[in-house]
Structure 1
Amino acid sequence: MDDVSNNSKDVEKKLYIEGHLLTVHACFEGDSQWSLSVQNEKGVTTHWDENFSSAQNAINTALKAINEEGVDEFMAYDYFGYLHEDDDSH
């Protein structure tokens, strides 16, 4: 299941995968360029270095990465020890 919200400057797509929430953000940066990030349910965000020509291209890139790398790659937060305090799985 997924939800999409869209305004002229930002596109957000919420994905519920394997019991986890990932939020894909495409943000208009100007000059027809869109930035891309994926935020997990703990608030840890993965940012892409490159920009994209459209929000759809950015979203498609994130979906492809999630599909190819797996949701666990976006759930990793080993470098953020304080996030583990309430999480018995780590």
Structure 2
Amino acid sequence: MLDVLRVRACAVGEIVDELGFTQPTTSKHLRVLREAGLVRVRTHAQRRIYSVDLEQMAELDAWLAPFRQLWNERLDALGEHLDRSEDEAKGK
């Protein structure tokens, strides 16, 4: 849903068409994203238009940065271990 909204602002019906979810499911997800502050909503005529809240996404990205670093270090260590194990199995 965020990928769709990242490209362009959409009404609920457009998101339903894009993702194939039901309207109630889409609305529930949008409500959760709105309450989390990740999307904004504005009214245009009878429609509610949703878009990504870039400021909140930047805050989320900053909050995730230390975790991303932690996982990158662990995944790098795992990759090195697997490379060594493969080399040992080949008799190097």
Normalised by the length of structure 2, the TM-score is 0.28
Which structure is larger by alpha-carbon Rg, 1 or 2?
A: 2
Structure number having the greater helix percentage: 2
Structure number having the greater strand percentage: 1
Q: Which has the higher contact order (CA 8 A, sep 6+)?
A: 2
